[in-house]
C-alpha cells in the first residue's frame, strides 16, 4: 500500500522515524514519504525526516505541555501550512494516508483529530491513524487526554489502529526504557501490513528474484484492497504478529502456520486481549515454496472462530526468509474487553481530575460561597 505518513507530536515523530527506517531497510518501498509535525522545536531536532513546526506564534516552539485543547488549536491555526507541505508529498500513486500520534500527550492528542478531518476534507483517500495509548502506570492526565482524543479521532479517521504502550514491555521495564523496543515492534507490524498491500510487481525485489515474481506461486497474495476492505468497517483496529522457524517442506509447515497465527493473535497483538472483531485479515509471510496453503486456510478458519467474525480474509506474503511469520489485522474491536477497560480507566481518571478541580475551586471561592452570602 503506497503510503504517506504524518507523525504528530513526539511519539508520532519517533514512531514515524522507526517505520520509515524499517520500510527502507526491508526494501519494501511502501512508505513513499513522511512528514513530522510538532509544536515543540526540540522534539523535531535530530529527526531524519522533513518537519513542520506549528503554533510558533502561540507557544514559541516550546510545545503545548499536556494541553491537548491547545494542541488542537495550534494544529487548526497552522493547518494551511501543514496541508500545503503534505500536498507536495501526496500524488496520484498514493493509496493511503497514515497519521501517527501518541494519544495521551498534547500536540499529537489534540492535533491528530484536526489533521484527520482536514485530510478527509481534501483527499479522496483512506485516512488511517495509528494511535498510541498510554501505559497503565502513566498519570491520570495521559489517560484523560487519550480517552478524549480517541473519541474525537475515531469518527474523523477511516480506522484507528491502536497500540498499547503496555503491549511489548519486558517485565520490569519502565515505559521509557522499553520505548525503543516498542517502536521497533510497531514498525515491524505496521511496516509489514503496509508492504503486504504492495502490488505483486513490486515484490520481486523482496529478495526472492523470480520466485517472488512467479504469479502461480503467489495466487493468493494479499493486496491493498484486502487491507482497505478489512479496515472498511471503521472504528478501532489492532494488529498482531509472531514468527517461527519453518521447514522447507510445506506439508511440515501446516502446524507452524497455525501455531504462529495463534501466537500472533493471543500473545502478539498491539492491544493485548483484543480478540473479538468485526473483520480480520491473516497474512502469512515466508518463502512461497514452503508456505502451506492448507495451513493458511486452517489459520484463517481458526481466526474466524476466535474473533466471531464472518469476515476473515487470508493470504500470503512471499518473502525471502527462513521463518514463517503471521500478521493478523483485527478491525472493529470496540466490543473487546481491552477497549472497554481503557475507556473505563479514562473515565475514572476524568472523574478524579474533575473532582480535584472542583475541590480546588471550592477552596479558592469559599469566601464568596452562597452560604456566606446568605449571612449578609
Ligand atoms: P506530544 O508531543 O505533546 O504529542 O506528546 P507525546 O507524543 O510525548 O505523547 C505522550 C504519550 O506518548 C505518552 O503516553 C508516552 O508514553 C507516549 N510516547 C512518547 N514517546 C513515545 C515513543 O517514542 N514511542 C511510544 N510508543 N510512545 C511514546
**What CATH number should be reported for the domain whose range is 3-196?**
3.40.50.1440
Q: Does ligand 1 have an atom closer than 6 angstroms to the CB of 182?
A: yes
Residue located via cell numbers 491493498: 224
Task: Give yes or no for residue 7 CB within 6 A of ligand 1.
Answer: no
pLDDT averaged over the chain? 90
| Ligand 1 pocket residue status of 16, Cβ below 6 Å | no
Ligand 1: distance of its center to the CA of 186 in Å?
13
For residue 111, give the ligand 1 atom closest to its CA: 4
pLDDT at 338 (0 to 100): 83
Name the residue ranges covered by the structural domains of the chain.
Answer: 3-196, 231-331, 339-375
The answer on pLDDT for 233 being more than 60 is yes
Q: How confident is the model at residue 201 (pLDDT cuts 50, 70, 90)?
A: low
pLDDT (tens digit, 9 = 90+) per residue, 236-293? 999 999 999 998 888 889 999 999 999 999 999 999 989 999 999 999 999 988 888 8
pLDDT at 357: 79
The rounded percent of the chain whose pLDDT value lies above 70 is 89
CA of 57 to the centre of ligand 1 (A): 23
Q: What is the model's pLDDT at position 362?
A: 76
Please give the model's pTM, rounded to 2 decimal places: 0.92
pLDDT at 104: 97
Supply the pLDDT for residue 137: 87
Ligand 1 pocket test target in 15, 102, 161, 168 with most atoms within 8 Å of CB: 102
Pick the CATH number of 231-331 from 3.30.1300.10, 3.30.1330.20, 3.40.50.1110, 3.40.50.300: 3.30.1330.20
Residue 72 has pLDDT above 90, yes or no: yes
pLDDT digits (tens, 9 = 90+) for 84-103: 999 999 999 999 999 999 99
Residue 366 is predicted with a pLDDT of 60
Q: Report pLDDT digits (tens) over 167-186.
A: 887 656 666 668 888 999 99
pLDDT on residue 215? 45
The CA 108 to ligand 1 mean position distance, Å, reads 8
- If you take atom 25 of ligand 1, which residue's CA is the nearest one? 11
Ligand 1 atom nearest to 43, measured from its CA: 2
Q: Is 107 in the pocket of ligand 1 (CB under 6 A)?
A: yes
Amino acid at each position: 500500500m503506497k503510503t504517506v505518513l504524518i507523525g504528530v507530536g513526539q511519539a508520532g515523530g519517533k514512531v514515524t522515524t522507526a517505520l520509515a527506517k524499517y520500510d527502507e531497510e526491508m526494501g519494501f518501498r511502501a512508505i513513499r514519504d513522511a512528514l513530522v509535525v510538532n509544536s515543540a522545536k526540540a522534539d523535531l531536532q535530530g529527526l531524519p525526516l522533513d518537519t513542520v513546526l506549528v503554533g510558533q506564534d502561540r507557544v514559541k516552539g516550546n510545545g503545548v505541555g499536556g494541553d491537548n485543547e491547545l494542541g488542537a488549536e495550534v494544529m487548526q491555526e497552522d493547518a494551511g501550512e501543514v496541508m500545503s507541505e503534505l500536498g507536495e508529498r501526496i500524488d496520484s500513486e498514493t493509496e493511503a494516508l497514515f497519521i501517527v500520534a501518541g494519544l495521551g500527550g498534547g500536540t499529537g492528542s489534540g492535533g491528530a483529530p484536526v489533521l484527520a478531518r482536514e485530510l478527509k476534507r481534501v483527499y479522496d483517500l483512506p485516512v488511517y491513524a495509528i494511535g498510541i495509548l498510554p501505559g497503565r502506570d502513566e498519570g491520570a492526565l495521559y489517560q484523560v487526554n487519550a480517552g478524549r482524543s480517541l473519541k474525537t479521532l475515531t469518527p474523523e479517521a477511516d480506522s484507528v489502529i491502536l497500540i498499547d504502550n503496555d503491549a511489548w514491555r519486558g517485565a520490569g521495564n519502565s515505559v521509557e526504557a522499553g520505548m525503543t523496543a516498542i517502536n521497533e515492534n510497531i514498525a515491524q507490524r505496521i511496516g509489514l501490513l503496509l508492504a503486504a498491500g504492495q502490488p505483486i510487481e513490486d515484490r520481486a525485489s523482496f529478495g526472492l528474484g523470480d520466485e517472488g515474481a512467479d504469479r502461480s506461486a503467489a495466487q493468493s497474495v494479499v493486496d491493498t484492497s484486502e487491507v482497505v476492505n478489512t479496515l472498511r468497517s471503521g472504528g478501532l483496529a489492532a494488529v498482531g504478529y509472531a514468527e517461527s522457524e519453518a521447514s522447507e517442506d510445506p506439508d511440515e509447515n501446516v502446524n507452524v502456520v497455525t501455531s504462529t497465527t495463534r501466537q500472533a493473535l493471543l500473545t502478539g497483538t498491539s492491544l493485548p486481549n483484543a480478540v473479538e472483531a468485526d473483520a480480520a485479515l491473516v497474512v502469512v509471510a515466508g518463502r512461497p515454496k514452503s508456505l502451506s496453503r492448507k495451513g493458511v486456510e486452517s489459520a484463517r478458519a481458526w481466526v474466524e472462530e476466535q474473533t466471531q467474525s464472518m469476515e476473515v480474509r487470508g493470504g500470503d506474503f512471499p518473502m525471502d526468509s527462513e521463518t514463517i511469520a503471521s500478521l493478523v489485522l483485527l478491525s472493529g474491536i470496540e466490543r473487546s474487553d481491552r477497549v472497554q477497560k481503557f475507556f473505563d480507566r479514562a473515565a475514572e481518571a476524568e472523574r478524579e481530575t474533575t473532582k480535584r478541580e472542583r475541590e480546588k475551586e471550592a477552596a479558592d471561592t469559599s469566601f464568596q460561597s452562597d452560604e456566606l452570602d446568605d449571612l449578609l
